[in-house]
């Protein structure tokens, strides 16, 4: 059975004030894949996700599967922690019903009691899980994650990535994931997109060699692969 293409990008270009941010990107994403987007700071990774959501003007072609539902987990929402709002009110911004909220909290291993907590009172790990649960409202088929462990301690990072793997399996999700964590790429990703304004590679993780990483980041990097049961 032929794999269904859920996203097709052709000759994607983005410019800000005549500076090229993304240049001639072309790639496809199949249903059920986990695509890891890898690159140095300033490479255009966040811009790519926002462009795919039509939040940024672009030239080229972005073709989604008709009717596909998309969830987005941003890298940071620092301003929201200053808003006097509890978690329940945050979900109500999306008109989420109580039973859907509870289901999504269960999916990210949070108790219903957290609904009474103020957004500003959440730990970084709790807040990230809330953002993921919020993105799951309306049952999206595809999730975009922009460095989901930014600002979270190492133990929390590991549990967030375990959560992503669990959600992908349980909900048959397609995932586009911006990350710097190479061990996570080997563990979760179907393919990796190496990006530094231009696309330098789009291949399976085992082809992500030390030489390719050095080319991407512009410095010599020692790469270690770890096997996982």
Given this model, what pLDDT does residue 9 score? 98
Given pLDDT bands bounded at 50, 70 and 90, which one contains residue 198? very high
Given this model, what pLDDT does residue 74 score? 86
State the average pLDDT for the chain: 86
More confident residue, 192 or 149: 192
Q: Compute the average pLDDT of residues 71-76.
A: 84
Q: Where are the domains of the chain?
A: 1-68+141-229, 77-138
Highest CATH level, class, for 1-68+141-229: alpha beta
Given this model, what pLDDT does residue 158 score? 53
Share of the chain above pLDDT 70, in %: 87
Share of the chain above pLDDT 90, in %: 55
Cα separation, 144 vs 72, in Å, equals 5
Highest mean pLDDT among 62-71, 129-138, 155-164: 62-71
């Amino acid at each position: 059975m032929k794999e269904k293409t859920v996203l097709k990008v052709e000759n994607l270009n983005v410019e800000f004030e005549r500076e090229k941010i993304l240049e001639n990107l072309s790639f496809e994403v199949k249903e059920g894949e986990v695509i890891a987007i890898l690159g140095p700071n300033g490479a255009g990774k966040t811009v790519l996700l926002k462009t795919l959501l039509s939040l940024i003007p672009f030239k080229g072609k972005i073709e989604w599967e008709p009717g596909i539902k998309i969830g987005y987990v941003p890298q940071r929402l620092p301003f929201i922690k200053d808003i006097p709002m509890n978690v329940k009110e945050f979900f109500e911004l999306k008109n989420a019903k109580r039973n859907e909220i509870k289901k999504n909290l269960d999916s990210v291993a949070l108790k219903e009691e957290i609904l009474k907590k103020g957004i500003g009172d959440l730990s970084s790990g709790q807040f990230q899980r809330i953002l993921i649960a919020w993105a799951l409202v309306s049952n999206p088929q595809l999730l975009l994650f922009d460095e989901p462990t930014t600002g979270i301690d190492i133990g929390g990072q590991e549990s967030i990535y375990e959560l992503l793997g669990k959600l992908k399996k349980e909900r048959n999700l397609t995932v586009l994931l911006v990350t710097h964590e190479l061990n996570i790429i080997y563990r979760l990703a179907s393919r990796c997109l190496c990006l530094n304004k231009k696309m330098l590679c789009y291949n399976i993780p085992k082809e992500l060699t030390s030489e390719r990483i050095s080319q991407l980041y512009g410095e010599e990097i020692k790469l270690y692969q770890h096997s996982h049961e």
